[in-house]
A and B are shown apart, each in its own frame.
Chain A
Amino acid sequence: MEMKRENHKGKALNLLRSRVCDPKFAFKALYNSPESNYSKLKFMISSSVTEACNNSILLLGPRGSGKISVLELVIRDLLDEYPDSISVIRLSGLLHGDDISAFKEIARQLCMEHQLLFSKSASFDDNSQFMVAMLKECGLAHKTVIFVLDEFDLFAQGKQRLLYSLLDAMQSVTSQAVVVGISCRLDADQLLEKRVRSRFSHRKLLFMPPSMEDSQSLLVHMLTIPVDSSFPRDYAIEFNRKVQNIVEDKRFKETFSNYLNFDSSVKHLLKFLFCAISHMDLKTGFLSLENFKTAFSSINRQPKLECLRNSSILELYILVCMKRLEVKEKSFCNFNSVMKEYKSIHDSFQTSDYYDRNVCLRAFEHLINRELICFADNRGHSLSVEYRPVKLLISSAELNQGLRAYHSCPAILQKLMDREG
């Protein structure tokens, strides 16, 4: 009995996690309305499949707004509808940005699609000709080839030969192909050369992050577990009720809102959910407000302040010295000038922490590793570290805050900073 409870809690957790990790689930829920991108896209592609015509579409939108997922959904459905009249070629600008590997990849996938033998040694021209030939073949066989070009803007770098020959082939050869470009750059079509753009039909789908309400309903949708045989009925109901309570709670509302404020994309939301879910307590087997709080705190961090909290007292001294130099409008500072400042501080205040140059240099290198400071230029490697100009990577406000937060921070440092104002 107890054992069973345990593992259906585990099952619940597992279910939620797999939901979160699979974006399709979320977007399916998000885009089931008729006027959504999903239906538009599906209409476009399916029409070009049925009417056996060529087409090219751009899916634009910020990262994590579900461009690919929606496309995947569409393709999946279409594959169900027209099982043997669609073949999909997937490329990513990250991997196939250069034309050679792009054509090679296309050839490879075409071969896999049609059970042909793919030769690694095939040259660039072989591959491109092969592609054109295959397009023609597919056209004759009334088979639509869908080219999915992820990171479309990266294909637009360089000579754009891939795009050109692809679109050109689509125009000249009796083929039926759909080119779907996906990019997070809204100006992606501006990047195209003229010869390419002229051949590109400017269908664009804009993907927008969901509104607050949508995301909240999405959250509810994702967190509610089905009330059916899969879970004990009472447990499921209880679970969903708790979720509802949490969502109603206004403390949660504000956490949620100021989480989504700086990035309201769905992926971001999923991240949040993932953290929250993974903190779910398996003893009780229910989500709690705490989970969301911890998730919130663990996701959006303030790295600079953390670094400040990590740094030793000596490193703080050096930072303060640099800040003082900065305030004094020194053109740029390097280790030597910092040391001068450090010494002057020591002379005027007789601090207990006055250490040897080497030790300070080591602390200085620590700061560089922590990326609280960095070299101002990449030139002059011949110079030793202490001469290379450096600049501070944190604002004085951050530094102030950090010093306040730092327990056992020497009073003198705060005084110095306050003096700077």
Chain B
Amino acid sequence: MDKEEEAPQIPRRTRRSSTSSWASTSNDVSSVKVNSLEPQTINDLLVGGEPVSLDDLLSNFPGRNSQIREIVHLLGPLNTPMLPLFVYGGASTGKTSIILQLFRHLNRPLVYSSCRTCYNPRILFESILNQLHLHRRSAANGYSNAKRCERPSDFVNFLREALTNAINNLKEKSEKLMSSKTMRGGIGNMIYLVFDNFQLVREWDKSSTILPLLFNLYDMLKMPEVGLIFISNSSPDTFYSNMGYVEPIPVYFPDYVEADIRKILLRNQANPKLYSSFLDVSLRPFFRITRQINELSTAFKPLYEKYCEPLSDKSIVPNEDMKRRLFSHIMLHVSSSLNEIFKVSSLPLSKVESSKETTQKGTPRKLEHCEEVAKLDFHMSTSAKYLLISAFLASRNPATLDASLFDSKGGSDNRKRKRKPSEKVPEKKESLEEELLMKGPGSFPLERLLAIFQCIVSVADDPSDEEEQNGFGLGVEGACGDLMSDVLLQLSSLCNAKFIFKGRSCPIEGSTRYRSSISEDLALKVARSLKFPLSSYLYKRT
């Protein structure tokens, strides 16, 4: 409980005295239960973990030899200054982990902050300062920051001060080490600031000031003991701001080539032989689609299970003909799963009537496809359905054709009228389809939507009545009169379901334009559930 009164003073103390006092107390504090917070020492800036040799590192990251060596060169030996680095490369090319592992190997202090977690300047600043002040947010201090700073100017001042303290701290430490001749030389006097996910900073609303600030930080601080490392997804040339700056030194991580990916996937596998035979089959086709390791691994996980299905024990070393059998077994799965990018597994224990795994598109097999199209698998009120369809029509057909599609009163005689568009089609189709491809679904005012809605409802009434299996007037009230009654409510709920997008302004004022965003087959499903002849109201599209 001494934490309580100790915690508030932490920021006020000067760095040096506090650490020394803590360092003295730390060993008896450490005897307390594991997840009680020992106060941090400068060592907490190290990545920690047991030391790794450079060779292990190189072997751990296949295909990253040159990059690792280059970075080691650029970081240089202990206590040598360095210019800012800019490490970039595509997603999941091992940038972050390699940097961290390298620091673990070199055993030098670093201050890491990911611009994704720190999603705005203030949080970024404060997290950096927290780390430099060896300040850990906890219930004891009410999760408060070591320093509160929002302005860049304050940040630079605080940073300079904190850095000097930390560096002095380090210097003492290393002197101690020098005096006591311990091998594996100390952690040095350098402090490295690492900014991960740096490309995100461009999207920040203050990016125009923050980017130059961070890029110029090195020149601004004029501290040779500080090293800056930026890690980014996108190349330096995408960072040009209006005022420019001296670029940091680029280090490039290319995407893995097939062989590397193979090694990586094999890295921790129970049965590498089997898995490699699996990769022989499946890696190449997938590799043509994507080269991102995480996407590949997520795609392979279920596929490999399939691959192993016929096998009794997963530990056997496959011989040729077994490989052949497995190959023939897996082939169709490969081709099918090539085209699925997101799968939702529905647990066997939950009683779900749908198929085991639903892919994005209808699964390629015919019968499932048709039945999937057949039924609409969520509940909508009838008027909502009609509204949705009319919105779809309004988005799809040009307004000029409404007249020919529906006569003003939406009377029953547009059985013959609806022939018209299909005659009009040939000359118009090309241009129409073009602009449809271009602009996507068109937008429309509320009035048009309601007009179409009225027509549709009045037309579709009689059919919809027949469809009601029980002829006892259950459907009679389905007449447009009742459906019309609270259309705006339906509209709002459709907007909420993201089926209809709506521009910003009040519907009464009328300037709002709506746009339906549903796919054609969803619209067809809805229409089918209403027994509504949607296709005859659409342009036949090739």
Contacts and interface: CB of A to CB of B under 8 A. Distances in A.
A299 interface: yes
A105 B338 contact: no
B343 to A, nearest CB: 11
Interface in A340-386: 340, 353, 355-359, 362-363, 366, 369-371, 382-384, 386
A279 interface: yes
A337 B254 contact: no
- Interface residue SS majority, chain A: helix
A306 B252 contact: yes
B289 interface: yes
A169 interface: no
Nearest to B245: A63
Contact of B77 (A10, A274, A363): A10
B501 A382 contact: yes
A64 B246 contact: yes
Interface residues of A, number: 68
A267 interface: yes
A274 B82 CA distance: 8
B439 A387 contact: yes
Contacts of B441: 387
A17 B289 contact: no
B31 interface: no
Contacts of B302: none
Contacts of B220: 92, 94-95
A66 to B, nearest CB: 11
A340 B77 contact: no
B339 A299 contact: no
Nearest to B339: A356
B294 interface: no
A129 interface: no
Interface in A264-299: 267-268, 270-271, 274-275, 278-279, 282, 298-299
A95 B125 CA distance: 14
A398 interface: no
B203 to A, nearest CB: 11
Nearest to B69: A279
A13 interface: yes
B314 to A, nearest CB: 29
Contacts of B245: 63
17 contacts: A17-B82, A21-B81, A21-B82, A94-B216, A95-B151, A267-B246, A275-B249, A298-B70, A299-B249, A306-B235, A307-B235, A334-B440, A357-B361, A370-B90, A383-B515, A386-B440, A389-B438
Interface of A: 10, 13-14, 17-18, 20-22, 63-64, 68, 92, 94-97, 101, 104-105, 108, 151, 154, 184, 267-268, 270-271, 274-275, 278-279, 282, 298-299, 301, 303, 306-307, 309-314, 331-332, 334, 336-337, 340, 353, 355-359, 362-363, 366, 369-371, 382-384, 386-387, 389
Interface of B: 70, 73-74, 76-77, 79-83, 90-91, 151-153, 156-157, 209, 212-213, 216, 219-220, 224, 233-238, 243-247, 249-252, 254-255, 287-292, 295, 338-342, 360-361, 437-441, 501, 503, 515, 517
Given A64-B246, A334-B437, 14 more contacts: A18-B224, A94-B209, A95-B156, A278-B74, A278-B82, A301-B235, A303-B237, A307-B235, A312-B287, A312-B290, A336-B437, A336-B440, A337-B438, A369-B91
